[in-house]
Structure 1
Amino acid sequence: MSEAQVQSETVELIEVLHVEDESDFADLTATFLEREDDQFTVETATSAEEGLERIRDHPPDCVVSDYNMPGMNGLEFFRAVRERYPDLPFILFTGKGSEAIASDAISAGVTDYLQKGSGTEQYELLANRIRNAVRTRRETQRVDRQQQLMRLTEFAGDTGGWELDRESGTILLTAGSRRIIGRPDQTEISLEEGIALFHPDDREEIQHTLTRAFETGEEQHNTWRLQPGDGDERLIDMTITPVVESGGRVTKLRGAGHDITDRKERRQELEMHKTIIEALTDAVYVLDEEGRFTYVSDELVELVGYDRETILGSTPSLIKDEDAVERAEHHLGRLLSSDGPETVQFEVTIQPCDGDPIVCEDHMGVLPYEGDEFDGSVGTLRDITERKERTRELERQNARLEDFASIVSHDLRNPLMTAQGRLELAQADCDSPHLDEVGDAVDRCQALIDDLLTLAQSGNAVGTTEPVTLSELAEECWQTTPGADATLAVETDQTISADWSRLQQLFENLFRNAVNHGGREVTVTVGELADGFYVADDGAGISDEDHDDIFEAGYSTADDGTGFGLTIVKEIVEAHGWEIHVTDSEASSARFEITGVETAH
């Protein structure tokens, strides 16, 4: 084997300094990294101060650091390293926690940010991040050292490199550059073509930067939006290095770019998530795989009354009783099952630090994870105490209505039936017009009872809806409408989605209303509207001053009317989510229009 072959196969070692105050975890990480790749040699330090001393004595290829450490934290340590070693790869490897740490880390310019996990996959991922960071730095150093044309080698950065000749105005492209702009076979382009590859709003600034580099001989750095041939815009972090001839004149510019699109997108995504959480009015929490709070929003802190430091690291038993904790664990089991839902919603009672229990709606899901290692859960708590109280009040009102219906149906109807029987006996014994008046009064009371029971028992409820053919139901209801010579005309073949029995009540009440007010020879028409139907008659009509009052309970213009028929009609309409309006028909008579009706298919 030749010497060149031996050198090409030589393993290039990667020296890593791991700064971690938990010495056991630091040793474990070193073991896994060195087992993952025999390129790695890992040294450890238990504080940032010790880490700085190690770097001063012998700079590593990459620094991996925890965030929460006594004395100087991870970001402060990073800034101290950057002051002396501006290009040394630095990876923040810290426990699960605040999105704000990740955002601050990326904003500060760390090479990468990685959260610790509970499985061995985290070390594989960390090893890959280290390799990528070190490879990028070494490529940059190699290009800087060689100072050669980039036709022969890749420039630093995943976008490759380029060289601009001042005299000819041409740009030589490396293979990486040609690949990113979609011109794999074109090794040379003009300056104008090169600038045109970028966003129109960036081109003037690019031209100024190139001119400044030629005139001052100083290295330039900026970020621009590349628009390659495939149309997929990329954000390029560009470093431009002047090549100075012996006479001090800049004859060439060399550029190295790094595609930071994904990094910016991650930063924007973190900012978006942070904004979303801050905009939520519900209380937000995050639990780790051991069921301990790792994040709580300001709303949750305010809801439970404990300070944030007390909540973080605690389990939900701090604010929930044993039954509520078991219920949450049951729903978490559903989420983790192979065929379980993505989220669950259930009711839970929260016990704040001070004050009465709070009834909440808990909307919970699990954090994304790979493999079999569960990473924790996230959820929101919404205070529904007032809603529950309103529900209980409605239940109490319904109970009172049921009691009222019982009294009406039994305690009033029975005496009326007795009075009606006695009246018939009296009419058999003697003939008196006064007895006829008594009979009419008893009939009216029976009608009032029937309508009151309908209102009390049905309320605004709608049962199961089904396809209902209006013509069939209208004909059926007309058979029970006393009307002598009254006529029904059906001018629709619509089939709508409705509660059959409630719609039957609607038609019966509208038909009786038309006959009672329009006369025994009235014609009642059921017709079709664009989003509903109407019931009209050719009777005397309804005066304008009565339009606003006819749906009020007890309002009637007929001597023998109860005043509840149209009230029942309106409740049935509203229970379905429809609307009802009274207008004049073509014959200037009454027309009831029901709209917002869903057609059945």
Structure 2
Amino acid sequence: MSRVRDGARPDDADAVLHVDAGERAPDPATAALSARPGVAIESLRSANAAVDRLAAGDVDCLVCDPDDLGGTAFLCRVRGRHPGLPVVVYTRDTADAVLDWVAENGPAAYLRKGDGRGEERSEALWNRVERVLPGASLERDEALVETIHDPVYVLGATGEFTFVNDAFCAATGYDRETLVGRDGGVVERTELDGDDGRAFQRRLFERGARAGQVEVMLGTADGGTLYCEDHVSLLPAPDAEFAGSVGVLRDISARKRRERELERYEDVIELAADGMYMLDRSGAFDEVNSRMETLTGYDESELLEFGPATCLTEETYDRFESEIGALLSAARPWGSVEGDLETADGDLVPIEARITLVYRDGEFDGTVGIVRDITERRERKRELERQNDRLEEFAGIVSHDLRNPLNVAEGRLELLDDEVDSVHLAPARRALSRMDDIIEDVLTLTRHGTTDVSPHALEFEPLVWETWRTVDGPEATLTVAGALGTIPADESRLRRILENLFRNAVEHAGPDVTVRVGRLDGESGFYVEDDGPGVPPGDRETVFRTGYTSSADGTGYGLEIVRELVAAHGWAVEVRTGNEGGARFVVTGVSEA
């Protein structure tokens, strides 16, 4: 059998000591070990020689047949002096004592001589040796760890990296040479509760635990942060001292992002000025925010136990349930109802409840929504109704109590015109006509806010010409620029808008004014412009105010009426400079009919 003479062997070879006092001829299996690369074998034939050689050190594994060496006594003698030495028992002895010793005194392995043919037995013996050799075991373990997709690291007893796999390097952006041998703090490993990441391993050791799990943050080479779940196991140590740890990391950055988003949503819900709720498919509260507790006077546990029926009036609850049913039937995603909430103290609070259906996997799974206190809105509505009533009353007074005397005055003036010829009659007639215009404008301003706008598609150009014929301006000229198409508008309101703009042009640009109407280019709307002096930029907002006029015959209400009627349609009006320097009144926001 080959042996290493004079104790010399390659530095990177595993030294195997073979001891067998009963063999006269070389065993084929042990002889085959010498052919293994990286293995140096030395053979001895006595127990004492073996003990002396082991005492000299530099042996990585003992292969022996204890049958002629003293049996298990020899094995116990070796283990007592060399507790960590790997031992392979290669013998024909199948006594229970030998098998028990192998089982109880690792690292150790057993192979019975004579099993299998020579080649098979050689391979079996090598497998046993390879299994217990620390170098071979380490190589296998490292190869296995490198196949794991999760980052793996090993920290020594003092906290330095002794191993990191490729996945760890890829995750952190550091190369292995930068990490191994350096303190684990190089990657700023910190527990999410703020402790230094290595404190967890120490706590495991102090509690006598072998493994545990902790969430940590890792600082990456590019300055980023990686959130991980660290599965930590303490390294075994025969002297019961802390020897370090091995950790397997799972990237939980996506989960942490979702958790932070959820926390932000929860903060928004809790801080919302409106009540927010979630109902399950049976209609019971799944979740409510603190504002719901404030609105109802019930605490969260009461609302979750008793449901919406405990805080809504019967009529409102029925309306609420009917709306959910209507949404499901019509396949509409959301809706709303108004009603009254009844507090724990018995007070009624006017509310608007908005309802959104929730589906999971295509099946209805409940609703979410907002409950808003509309006390102020309802009060404003009532106040507007009271104001509208007063305006209607005022309009009646203006229409009846002022117009009747005016009609009498106009009738008397006509009779007087038949009896006398006086230069004072024409001014009096103009004054009465102006008074009639003022009354008409005041009635328009008073009543238009209380009348619903009923838009429908109108052929715009015919309406323009019909309105123009009602304007007193025999010397004025109207032109239409291009096709005017159709406009969605309330006919009477649009007619009044055009009439006031036409009259404004005649009054301020002169009796021979030319008025042009057209659709806007690049904007949704239309314009009415004249060739008069225009409106100075500083007055372009003022012209729409009540009472503003630069004409002796103007009432000061015409353009304000235009603005109010335009706004009633949801449009906007402004003054610009026309193509010929005059005033261009531009109405925008007009949708296509």
Classify the TM-score, shorter chain: 0.5 to 0.7
Change (3 A) 1:579 1:363: closer
Residue identity in the other structure for 1:429: E
Q: In the alignment, which residue of structure 2 is the partner of 1:514?
A: 505
1:319, distance to aligned residue in structure 2 (A): 3.0
Q: How does 1:51-450 map onto structure 2 within 5 Å?
A: 171-172=143-144, 177=148, 193-198=166-171, 200=173, 237-239=229-231, 241=233, 264=256, 267-268=259-260, 270-287=262-279, 293=285, 295-308=287-300, 310-334=302-326, 337=328, 339-354=330-345, 356-365=347-356, 377-450=367-440
Q: In the alignment, which residue of structure 2 is the partner of 1:141?
A: none
Residue identity in the other structure for 1:556: T
Residue identity in the other structure for 1:330: S
The answer to whether the 8 Å contact 1:494/1:599 transfers is no
- Report the secondary structure of 1:437's partner residue: helix
1:350, distance to aligned residue in structure 2 (A): 1.7
- Report the secondary structure of 1:550's partner residue: helix
1:382, distance to aligned residue in structure 2 (A): 0.3
The answer to whether the 8 Å contact 1:237/1:258 transfers is yes
Q: In the alignment, which residue of structure 1 is the partner of 2:449?
A: 459
1:303, distance to aligned residue in structure 2 (A): 1.9
The answer to whether the 8 Å contact 1:514/1:524 transfers is yes
Q: How does 1:544-563 map onto structure 2 within 5 Å?
A: 547-563=540-556
Radius of gyration: which is bigger?
A: 2
Q: In the alignment, which residue of structure 1 is the partner of 2:532?
A: 539
Q: Distance in 2 between matches of 1:406 and 1:508?
A: 24
Q: Deviations over 1:537-574 (max 9, x none)?
A: 22344467755542222333323322211111111233
The answer to whether the 8 Å contact 1:202/1:225 transfers is no
Q: Distance in 2 between matches of 1:489 and 1:285?
A: 60
Residue identity in the other structure for 2:532: G
Q: Deviations over 1:61-98 (max 9, x none)?
A: xxxxxxxxxxxxxxxxxxxxxxxxxxxxxxxxxxxxxx
| 1:575 and 2:568 are equivalent in the alignment | yes
Q: In the alignment, which residue of structure 2 is the partner of 1:130?
A: none
- Report the secondary structure of 1:381's partner residue: strand
1:511, distance to aligned residue in structure 2 (A): 1.1
Q: In the alignment, which residue of structure 2 is the partner of 1:480?
A: 470
1:286, distance to aligned residue in structure 2 (A): 4.3
Change (3 A) 1:284 1:588: closer
Matched residues, number:
421
TM-score computed with the length of structure 2 as normaliser:
0.57
Q: Distance in 1 between matches of 2:538 and 2:360?
A: 68
- Report the secondary structure of 2:343's partner residue: coil
Q: Can you give the 5+ residue segments of structure 1 that lack an aligned partner in the other structure?
A: 1-145, 147-163, 182-189, 227-232
Q: Distance in 2 between matches of 1:494 and 1:430?
A: 50
Q: Distance in 2 between matches of 1:456 and 1:196?
A: 78
TM-score computed with the length of structure 1 as normaliser:
0.57
Q: In the alignment, which residue of structure 2 is the partner of 1:229?
A: none
The answer to whether the 8 Å contact 2:312/2:341 transfers is yes
Change (3 A) 1:600 1:278: same
Q: Can you give the 5+ residue segments of structure 2 that lack an aligned partner in the other structure?
A: 1-106, 108-135, 152-162, 187-196, 206-210, 219-224
The answer to whether the 8 Å contact 1:577/1:596 transfers is no
1:514, distance to aligned residue in structure 2 (A): 1.0
Change (3 A) 1:577 1:339: closer
1:479, distance to aligned residue in structure 2 (A): 2.8
Q: Deviations over 1:470-501 (max 9, x none)?
A: 65543443233222221223335455754152
Q: In the alignment, which residue of structure 2 is the partner of 1:526?
A: 517
Q: Distance in 2 between matches of 1:411 and 1:530?
A: 49
Change (3 A) 1:368 1:540: closer
The answer to whether the 8 Å contact 2:145/2:165 transfers is no
Q: Distance in 2 between matches of 1:424 and 1:453?
A: 26
Calculate percent identity across the aligned residue pairs: 35
- Report the secondary structure of 1:433's partner residue: coil
The answer to whether the 8 Å contact 1:462/1:576 transfers is no
Q: Distance in 2 between matches of 1:371 and 1:554?
A: 62
Greater Cα offset, 390-399 or 261-270: 261-270
